[in-house]
Amino acid sequence: FIILHIYYFVIYHYFAASDLQVNLCVMDETTLSLGTIDVSYLSTSAECSIGRCKHSGEEWGECNSRPTLFRSATLKWKETLLSKKRPFVGRCCYVCTPQSRDNFFNASIPSLGLRNVIYINETHTRYRGWLARRLCYVLFVQERDVHKGMFAKNLTENVLNNSRVQKAIVDEASEPSAPGSFAQTDPKAISKVKKKARKILQEMVANVSPALIRLTGWVLLKLFNSFFWNIQIHRGQIEMVKAATEMNLPLIFLPVHKSHIDYLLLTFILFCHNIKAPYIAAGNNLNIPIFSTLIRKLGGFFIRRKLDQSPDGRKDFLYRALLYVHIEELLRQQQFLEIFLEGTRSRSGKTSGARAGLLSVVVDALFSNATPDVLIIPVGISYDRIIEGHYNSEQLGKPKKNESLWSIARGVFRMLRKNYGCVRVDFAQPFSLKEYVNSQSQKPVPAPLSLEQALLPAILPSRPNDTVDEGTEASLPNSRDITSEPFRRE
C-alpha cells in the first residue's frame, strides 16, 4: 500500500510539473535552459504565481533558490514542443556590413535570454535586508553611473566660434535690408545677428542634469510598474550596446516612433544599464513651458519641424549652419544621439516611411571628418497597447491638436487608470556607418530604363514568369506554343 501510494504521488507531481514547466517555457524563452524544477513550488499560492507571470523575464534562480528534488523529465517534451529555437533578431547584414556583423557578437549572446527592466529588488543593489527591500528603487537609482562629465561641454561657445557659423552670421548681416540697396557689413548688424544666433542656440542646446536623470529614473520605475505589466529586453542585445560604448565612437540610436513614451523609455533602459543618456532630437511643438525644461535636463533639444520659416520662402542659412555645427560638435565630443527616422509619430501603429532629416547631417559630419566613424543602432519598440490610442480622429481627417501642459497632465492621469500590457524593446547589432556608406558606393548603379522599357510591362499584360528583353528572343525547351491553345489569351 505504501509503495502504491508513493507511485501515485510521483506520477501526480510528474504531470503537474510537466504542465507547469511547459507553460512557462512557452511564455518566456529564458526558461528553455532549465533542466530542473522544484516540486515544492507547486504548493505556492495563486498570488505568487501571478507575480511570477508578471515578472517572467527574470531568471528562475532569482525567484526560486530552493534545492531541487527531482530532475526534470520534461526535457523531451520541451524538445518536441519547442524544437525550433527562436531566432536572435537584429544581426547585421552580411552583404552591406560584413565586418560589423562579426563585431560585438559571440555565440553565447542569443542564450542570455530576456529581462524585465522594471522588476527591481534587493538583488539588483549592493545591500541586503529588510530596509533594502523597502528602499530598493532608491538604492538602485543611486548606484547608477551618471555624472556631469559624461556629457558635452561648452556647446554654445564652440558652435558660435565655428567658422561655418561665423560665415553665416556675416552673410546674414551683409544682406541688403531693402531690394535694390547695396550689401554692407555693419558691426551693429553683426552684433544683432549674433544675439539672434545665441537665442536660437538657447532653444537648441540641451543642459543635461544627472540629478534630474536619477529622479526621473525613480519616478519612471513607479509609473511604468503601475500601467505596464513588464518591459522586456534581451540581455544579449544590451551586452552588444555596452560593447559598442567602449569603442570611443558616437552612437546613433534610430528607434521607431509610436508614442511620446518613446523618448523616456529608451533613456530609462540605458540609464538602468549604466549607459550614457543620448541627446534626443524633438520637434519644437513640444517646446512647452515647464515640460520643455524637463526635456532639456534629460538630454532633449528642440529643432524646427521646417527649417525654413521665412515668409518670403528663402532658406534660413543661419539656422541651418547652427543645426549642422551643433550636431557635428556633439559627434566630435563622442556623444550619443537619438533620432527618429520617421520624423513624427505613426498614426496607424505601423512603421512609417523614413526621412533623411538629421541622419543626413550625421552623414555630412562623417564626410567632413568631424568624427572617424559613427555606430548606428536601430531600435524596435512594440506596445501591446499604445498609450495615446489609435488616433481615430486624425485618421478621419481632423486636424491635429497642439500639445499643451494641460493635455500632458491629463494624459498622465489617464494612464494611471488603465493597464497597457507589455512592452518589448529590441536593440539591433551596432554597425559602422562608414562601412555601410562605402559598401553602398561600391555597388554598380543600374543603367536607367528608357521610357519604352519602363512603360512596356504596364501596357502589355504578361504572366509572372514572362520576361521582356529588347532585341532578344528566349527559346525554352519543351515550351508550348500559345497559338495552338484552344482558347485565346485575353
pLDDT higher at 428 or 59: 428
Q: Are 217 and 144 in contact (CB under 8 A)?
A: yes
pLDDT at 25 over 70: no
pLDDT at 37: 34
User: Residues 349, 253: one domain?
Assistant: yes
Report yes or no on 490 lying in a domain: no
Instruction: Determine the pLDDT at residue 427.
Output: 92
Is residue 92 situated within a structural domain?
Answer: no
- Would you say residue 251 has pLDDT above 90? yes
389 & 473 share domain? no
Task: Return the residue matching grid coordinates 530598493.
Answer: 136
Q: Give the pLDDT confidence score for residue 148 in this predicted structure.
A: 84
Residue with cell 561600391: 442
What would the mean pLDDT of 131-137 be, rounded to a whole number? 86
Do residues 296 and 209 both lie within one domain?
A: yes
Residue 475 pLDDT greater than 50, yes or no: no
- Asked whether residue 31 falls in the same domain as residue 161, the answer is no
Q: Map the chain to HEC letters.
A: CHHHHHHHHHHHHHHHHHHHHHHHHHHCHHHHHCCEECHHHHHCCHHHHHHHHHCCCCCHHHHCCCCCCEECCCHHHHHHHCCCCCCCCCCCCCCCCHHHHCCCCCCCHHHHCEEECCCCCHHHCCCCCHHHHHCHHHHHHHCCCCCHHHCCCCHHHHHHCCHHHHHHHHHHHCCCCCCCCCCCCCHHHHHHHHHHHHHHHHHHCCCCCHHHHHHHHHHHHHHHHHHCCEEEEEHHHHHHHHHHHCCCCCEEEEECCCCCHHHHHHHHHHHHCCCCCCEEEEEHHHCCCCHHHHHHHCCEEEECCCCCCCCCCCCCHHHHHHHHHHHHHHHHCCCCEECCCCCCCCCCCCCCCCCCHHHHHHHHHHHCCCCCCCEEEEEEEEECCCCCCCCHHHHCCCCCCCCCHHHHHHHHHHHHCCCCCEEEEEECCCEEHHHHHHHHHCCCCCCCCCHHHHHHHHHCCCCCCCCCCCCCCCCCCCCCCHHHCCCCCC
Based on the fold, state whether residues 265 and 391 are members of the same structural domain: yes
For residues 286 and 302, the answer to whether their CB atoms sit within 8 Å is yes
Q: What average pLDDT does range 192-201 have in this prediction?
A: 87
pLDDT digits (tens, 9 = 90+) for 366-403: 888 888 899 999 998 888 887 766 666 666 666 666 66
Domain shared by 455 and 413, yes or no: no
pLDDT the model gives residue 133: 85
Per residue in 41-83, pLDDT (tens digit) is 333 333 344 444 455 444 433 444 444 433 444 444 444 444 4
Q: What is the pLDDT of residue 48?
A: 41
Place 455 in a pLDDT band, splitting at 50, 70 and 90: confident
Domain count within the chain? 3
Residue 184 scores a pLDDT above 70: no
* Residue 453, pLDDT above cutoff 80: no
The string of pLDDT tens digits covering residues 254-307 is 988 878 788 889 999 999 999 998 998 887 777 777 777 888 888 888 888 777
Report if residue 257 sits inside a domain.
Answer: yes
Q: Is the pLDDT of residue 347 over 70?
A: no
| pTM tops 0.85 | no
Q: Indicate if the pLDDT at residue 160 is higher than 50.
A: yes
pLDDT of res. 377: 92
Structural domain includes residue 91: no
Range of lowest pLDDT (120-124, 186-190, 342-346): 342-346
Contact 250, 337 (CB under 8 A): yes
What does the alpha-carbon distance between residue 481 and residue 489 come to, in Å, rounded to a whole number? 12
- Mean pLDDT confidence for 168-176: 80
- Judge whether 314 lies within some domain: yes
Please tell me whether residues 115 and 206 are part of one structural domain: yes
Kindly state whether residue 89 falls inside one of the protein's structural domains. no
Is residue 87 assigned to a domain?
no
* Gap between the Cα atoms of 245 and 239, Å rounded: 10
pLDDT at 309: 64
Retrieve residue 437's grid coordinates.
556608406
Number of Cβ within a 10 Å radius of residue 413: 8
User: Is residue 35's pLDDT more than 50?
Assistant: no
Q: Is the pLDDT of residue 352 over 80?
A: no
Tell me, what's the pLDDT at 430? 92
Angle of CA points 12, 16, 22, to nearest 5°: 145
Angle at 35 between CA 29 and CA 39, to 5 degrees: 105
Residue 272: all three cell numbers together: 538602468
Q: Is the confidence at residue 108, as pLDDT, over 80?
A: yes
- Cα 328 off chain centre by: 22
Instruction: Answer yes or no: is 250 within a domain.
Output: yes
C-alpha cell at 474: 528566349
What average pLDDT score do residues 162-171 get?
88
- What pLDDT shows up at residue 283? 78
Residue, of 329 and 180, whose pLDDT is higher: 329
* Listed residues 81, 111, 126: the one ending a domain: 81
Across the chain, what does the average pLDDT equal? Answer: 72
Query: Does residue 26 have a pLDDT over 50?
Result: no
Range of the domain at 480: 451-484
> Does residue 410 sit in the same domain as residue 458?
no
Does residue 390 sit in the same domain as residue 253?
Answer: yes
Task: Tell me, yes or no, whether 107 and 250 share the same domain.
Answer: yes
Domain check: are 283 and 227 in the same one? Answer: yes
CB 38 within 8 A of CB 69: yes
pLDDT band at residue 349 using 50, 70 and 90 as cut-offs? low
Same domain as 432, residue 457: no
